[in-house]
Structures are given as C-alpha cells and as structure tokens.
Amino acid sequence: MTDTALEVSNVYKVFGKKPRDVVKRLKAGAARNDLTALGTAAVIDASFEVKKGEIFVVMGLSGSGKSTLIRMLNGLWEPTAGTVTISGSAISGIPAKALRDVRRKKISMVFQHFALLPHRTVLDNAAYGLEVQGVPLAERRERAQNIVNRVGLSGWEEKMPSELSGGMQQRVGLARALASDTDILLMDEAFSALDPLIRREMQEQLVDLQHELGKTIIFITHDLNEAMFLGDRIAVMRDGRIVQVGTPDEILTDPANDYVAQFVQDVDRARVLTAAGVMEPARSVVSGSAGPRAALRTMRDTQASSAFVVGNGRKLLGVVHDVDVLKQVKAGNPDLMAVVRNDPATVGPEQYLVDLFEPAAESHLPVAVVDDKGRLLGAIPRVTLLAALANVPTTTGENHIIESTATVAVEVITQTLRETAGLTDEVEMTRPAYADDVETAKEGSFN
C-alpha cells in the first residue's frame, strides 16, 4: 500500500498552434517567452506527490499556472505532456467514461464562485454529488444532512442559495464536495471571494474538518498567509514552473531563490514558525539521579544559571538553579531533587511562536519544548525566539546564546568543588569545563 494519493510527473500544458513543438523546445532549454509565437506554456515540467491525508497548497501569483494545473488534476484539461496519477492509476488519456468515474468516486472540487444550483435547496445542493453517483434518495439526503451539520449549516437545509450569504454559500459548496466522500478534494481559490473574517473562519473550519475526516486536499491560492496557515506542504509556482516544494517552515526559513524569498518576506512569521522549527538543543541538562556536584559542574561548563532536570526517557522533572545547588554542595547534601523547582515554562513542538511570547516573557529561563509525554526535546531562549522572528541566524558567534547567564562565578563554583571534594560518595556524570583542571578532574569519574 502506498501513502501517495496523487502524483504529477513532468506535466506540461501548452495552449496554441504547436503545443508539442513548444514542449520539445522547452525540454531542449528554450525560454518560455521565446516561444509565444508557437503557443503559451501555462505549466512547465511540473512534478510532485501529494500524500494521503495532507493539505497540499499550490501557491502563486496571477498567471503563474496554478489554476491550469488544478484543472489537469481532475482531467478537465489533458496535459500536453506528462502524467497525472490518482491512487496509482493514470488519468491522462483514459476514455471519457472512465474519467467520469474518477470524478464521481475519487476526486471532487470546490469552486471559487460557489457554482451552486440556484433552483435547489441547501440540502439538495449538498446531496447533488451523491445523486450523480446513483445513491438512493433517502441515503443521500441522510449523508448530506450529516455533512451540512458539520459545516455549520444546521437549520438552513431548506433555504435556497439566493437566501444565503457568500460565506454560507461556500459552506454549501464545501458540503457538496465532502458529501460525495471522494478521496481527494480540489479547492481552487475557494475562499478568495469571501470577506477577511469569514475567510479566516472558513480556513479554520477546513483544517478542523480535514483533521476529523482525513481527506486529501489540494488547495490553490495566491494568498501567502492562507497558504502558510492551511498547508502541510506548499508548492510555489512562477511562470508555469514549480520553483519550490516544502513545509511552511522550510519555505519561510530556507527559500529556494530570491523570488521565493521576496514572496515570503512580509509573512507573519510568528503565526507560521513552530517551536520545533526554531528550538535549540538544551545544553544545560542533568539527570535527576545525579547529585548536586554533577549539576553544578554542568552549569559551570555551560556557563548557565540553571539546568533542566530530566528523569527516565528524558522526561522533564523541573529545573535547578546554581545558587540552590551551590548550597547543597557546600552542605554535603547528595540529594539534587530536594532543590528541583517544577515550574519551568513549557510548550509543545507544534505551537506557533505567537504563543511563546508570554511564557518567554514570564521566565528568565529558556522555554522548554516537550512532547505529549513530557519529554524534553529542546529549548528556546529569548534570543532564539527574537532571531527567528527577525530571520536572523543564531549560529553567528555574536548571538549564539542558548542558556541563561550564570549568576555564580565560574571561579566560585570551581573553588567550591575543590573544597568539598570527598564530602559525598556521589559519582559525577559530566566532563570538566577545562582540560587542565586536574584537581577537579580527580574528584570523580566522567563520561
């Protein structure tokens, strides 16, 4: 079993007198603009795969070829060259009857301008695809009613399209496509005619429905923020070519060329980038089973004022601070857990940066990134958060700060470790900060 729902392989679409000549010359390296006398190359050598259950967004400005591309995905237009494959079967060049079966059972479409039947009620519009499939009346009305409820139109079933707002009409169009229960849903600028607030509401509802129903969605848009919000992956088109395919994070942080970089420069990065995409490895980390001396040494080596304390499986238990641990060492107390504070600021890996401002502001420690089992995945210091928002790399020597600054001087820690050597039987688990620190190195064994 493959996890690929749809595959596009080296697809060209040329309109004009000699489309195949245009394709031949494009493959030989000719420029698109030099071939306008022979034909217009709307799509050039497009190749990508869409995985089952993902929202794949095709994004580009007017004239980039995205609408032409989507019309080849359901066979409305035949590619000049290349193949489109749905669930392992090519739809390019197949008989008309077989193509109609594909549209009925495997792929449905939501149009920009709703395309509702004006003489049918909301419920009958939603059930239309099932009617085409030959589903009996009672069954199709029941199935359509379930979808109408899901898209928020309960109570409007008997209204006519003319009685609905634009947003409600688009919900009917979405309900019709979902009621058909096809594997793939195509959406061509489906929300572009809506007011901004309604548009955002529809975007959020589409994401919720996709998570609930697991549909494969291919969404066409010219709106970058819409693409970034909806897409699991995004294909960026320019002049008929796909110039980059990647996740929103990848396209935003590693654009393929200057065009993509300029395209994304004004996007709201805080609502696109996630904690997992910007987090740093947490350097100042110590096991809960280690003692205060090991924790103190870790903080000295990383020049940090605190350390994350983890248990089995790297589960985050809390944090310790250098001042508290120093007191434990001086007192000869071997129990690190006695000074662990269980109040670190934590976020999940999929949380957007816009959700990190408050925890980052309230804590002087880096924000800990943990998974759903509480395991420590990484950390996000304020400087990393700000650098990500400003698109500044954190690997330059000037701003590579990934832990809070130590509050106890390195010399004080080293002297304390020397003076208290032998007070406990604790085995130290970290490497000494300095290779020539012979006396400290003799205090314990290190990995």
pLDDT tens over the chain, length 447 residues: 469 999 999 999 999 989 999 999 999 999 999 999 999 999 999 999 999 999 999 998 888 999 899 999 988 899 999 999 998 889 988 888 888 888 888 898 887 776 788 899 999 999 988 888 888 999 989 999 998 998 888 889 999 988 988 888 888 988 888 888 888 999 988 888 788 888 888 888 889 888 888 899 999 998 888 998 899 999 999 999 999 999 998 998 889 999 998 888 878 888 888 899 889 998 899 999 888 999 999 988 888 888 999 999 999 999 999 999 999 998 888 899 999 998 888 999 989 888 898 888 887 788 999 999 999 999 998 888 888 887 765 544 433 344 455 677 777 787 778 877 765 444 444 433 333 333 333 333 333
pLDDT value for 434: 33
pTM above 0.85, yes or no: no
Q: What DSSP line would sit under 256-323, residue for residue?
A: SSHHHHHHHTTS-GGGT-BHHHHPBP--SEEETTS-HHHHHHHHHHHTBSEEEEE-GGGBEEEEEEHH
Helix, coil or strand: residue 142: helix
Q: What DSSP line would sit under 186-255, residue for residue?
A: EEESTTTTS-HHHHHHHHHHHHHHHHHH--EEEEEES-HHHHHHH-SEEEEEETTEEEEEE-HHHHHHS-
Q: How far apart, in Å, are the Cα atoms of 340 and each of 62, 292, 297, 309, 408?
A: 57, 10, 16, 8, 18
| Angle (CA) 212 215 221, round 5° | 110
Residue 43's H or E segment, with its range, is strand 40-51
Q: Which of 322, 245, 338, 250 is nearest to 288 (CA)?
A: 338
Angstrom distance (rounded) from CA 378 to CA 278: 9
- Cα dihedral across residues 164, 168, 173, 175: positive or negative: negative
Q: What domains sit in the chain, N to C, each tagged with a CATH number? A: 4-106+182-267 (3.40.50.300), 276-441 (3.10.580.10)
Angstrom distance (rounded) from CA 232 to CA 57: 8
pLDDT value for 430: 40
Helix, coil or strand: residue 400: coil
Q: Which of 82, 64, 80 is nearest to 240 (CA)?
A: 64
What residues contact 24, with CB distance under 8 A and at least 6 apart?
A: none
What residues contact 149, with CB distance under 8 A and at least 6 apart?
A: none
Residue 130's H or E segment, with its range, is helix 128-133
Angstrom distance (rounded) from CA 360 to CA 345: 8
The answer to whether 366 and 404 are in contact (CB under 8 A) is yes
Angstrom distance (rounded) from CA 431 to CA 428: 8
pLDDT value for 397: 40
Angstrom distance (rounded) from CA 143 to CA 149: 10
Structure token digits, residue 79: 């590619």
Structure token digits, residue 190: 């489906």
